[in-house]
């Protein structure tokens, strides 16, 4: 399976026992000297200088050469499946595929993170764990954190910046789709804000097509809208005007796209009802899990 993944020209594969690494040439020797193939030991060595970034699971951020930091993202299951099988995957090469696609997206001029490595660790065939290594982007906030920080209603200057950011996010997604990329899990946490720039991240199981259909575009936009609906239930200050500002920027004057999106949103309420039930079940499951962990021995 690993042999079927296209390897970017600036990366090379190294095998260490049951661990296969795909590393960027500028960091390869340094990471191998530090024993990156054995992550448990690697983390222990860097424990005093490690910080953690929020994600489905906390992502360790570790200092590497030139004053930069490396983020290690361990792949894990989401939804209810995570309660049964959190980080083991069957067949495939998820981290290698995501690294390859991320490099393709970067080469298309789309703002995103810079990957520097991927790890594929066989536990017992055909089960494996996977990790993606990327450079940390200083002072980046995902859109959830960004909206929470500005609050509601923001003062005039933050409000102007918020509107610019929403339009920039819409234009970025239009560019992403025009290049033929389809995001498998488009949600607020996968759009980062750095100053005046918006970046798109997390391309696990995403793909590139010759051209995206209106239906494909609609599915991506509805997934993002579902993320907004979910976080609004927790008080995220996103208004209906904010959403229309995003969609207008996304359409970029293409009335056909705008009409198709508006039609899809009108028929969206039934599907959203079932997602709300799912969120309720997930919330109950999380509470139960926390309760079990909190019980004294």
For position 178, which CATH number holds? 1.10.510.10
Measure the CA–CA gap between 65 and 47, rounded to whole angstroms. 16
Residues 149 and 274 grouped into a single domain: yes
Whether 240 is covered by a domain: the verdict is yes
pLDDT at 240: 87
Task: Show which of 90, 117, 135 is a domain's final residue.
Answer: 135
pLDDT at 81: 57
φ/ψ (deg, to 5) at 134: -135, 160
Residue by residue, DSSP assigns 71-127 as: EEEE----GGGGGT-SS-EESS-HHHHHHHHHHHHHHTT-----EEEEEEEEEETTE
pLDDT at 296: 39
Residues 58 and 164 grouped into a single domain: no
Residues 116 and 186 grouped into a single domain: no
* Number of domains, the chain: 2
8-state DSSP, 206: -
Residues 100 and 161 grouped into a single domain: no
Task: Show which of 79, 100, 135 is a domain's final residue.
Answer: 135
Residues 194 and 231 grouped into a single domain: yes
pLDDT at 295: 41
pLDDT at 267: 63
Residues 109 and 179 grouped into a single domain: no
pLDDT at 271: 55
In which residue ranges of the chain is pLDDT below 50? 270, 273-274, 279, 289-297
Whether 194 is covered by a domain: the verdict is yes
Per-residue pLDDT reduced to its tens digit, 51-88? 988 776 789 999 988 889 999 999 988 765 555 677 89
Residues 77 and 155 grouped into a single domain: no
pLDDT at 260: 79
pLDDT at 176: 98
Whether 292 is covered by a domain: the verdict is no
Task: Show which of 115, 135, 155 is a domain's final residue.
Answer: 135
pLDDT at 67: 85
Whether 275 is covered by a domain: the verdict is yes
Whether 297 is covered by a domain: the verdict is no
Residues 112 and 149 grouped into a single domain: no
Residues 161 and 272 grouped into a single domain: yes
Whether 293 is covered by a domain: the verdict is no
Whether 256 is covered by a domain: the verdict is yes
* Range(s) of the domain holding residue 113: 2-135
Whether 291 is covered by a domain: the verdict is no
pLDDT at 15: 95
Residues 234 and 249 grouped into a single domain: yes
pLDDT at 25: 96
Residues 42 and 151 grouped into a single domain: no
Residues 28 and 128 grouped into a single domain: yes
């Amino acid at each position: 399976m690993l042999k079927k993944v296209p390897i970017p020209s600036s990366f090379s594969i190294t095998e260490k026992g049951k661990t296969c690494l795909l590393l960027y040439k500028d960091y390869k020797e340094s990471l191998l000297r530090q024993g990156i193939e054995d992550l448990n030991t690697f983390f222990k060595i860097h424990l005093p200088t490690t910080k953690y970034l929020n994600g489905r699971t906390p992502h360790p951020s570790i200092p590497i050469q030139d004053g930069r930091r490396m983020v290690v993202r361990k792949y894990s299951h989401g939804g209810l499946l995570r309660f049964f099988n959190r980080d083991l995957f069957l067949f495939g090469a998820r981290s290698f595929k995501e690294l390859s696609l991320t490099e393709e997206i970067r080469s298309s001029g789309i703002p995103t993170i810079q990957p520097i490595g991927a790890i594929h660790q066989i536990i017992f065939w055909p089960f494996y764990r996977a990790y993606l290594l990327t450079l940390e982007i200083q002072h980046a906030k995902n859109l959830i954190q960004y909206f929470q920080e500005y609050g509601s209603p923001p003062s005039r200057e933050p409000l102007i910046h918020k509107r610019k950011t929403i339009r920039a996010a819409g234009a970025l997604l239009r560019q992403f789709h025009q290049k033929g990329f389809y995001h498998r899990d488009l949600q607020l946490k996968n759009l980062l804000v750095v100053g005046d720039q918006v970046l798109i991240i997390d391309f696990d199981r995403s793909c590139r097509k010759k051209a995206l259909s209106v239906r494909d575009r609609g599915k991506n936009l509805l997934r993002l809208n579902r993320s907004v609906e979910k976080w609004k239930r927790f008080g995220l200050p996103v208004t209906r005007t904010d959403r229309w500002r995003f969609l207008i920027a996304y359409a970029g004057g293409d009335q056909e796209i705008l009409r198709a999106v508006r039609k899809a949103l009108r028929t969206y309420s039934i599907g959203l009802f079932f997602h709300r039930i799912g969120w309720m079940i997930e919330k109950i499951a999380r509470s139960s899990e926390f309760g079990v962990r909190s019980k004294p021995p």
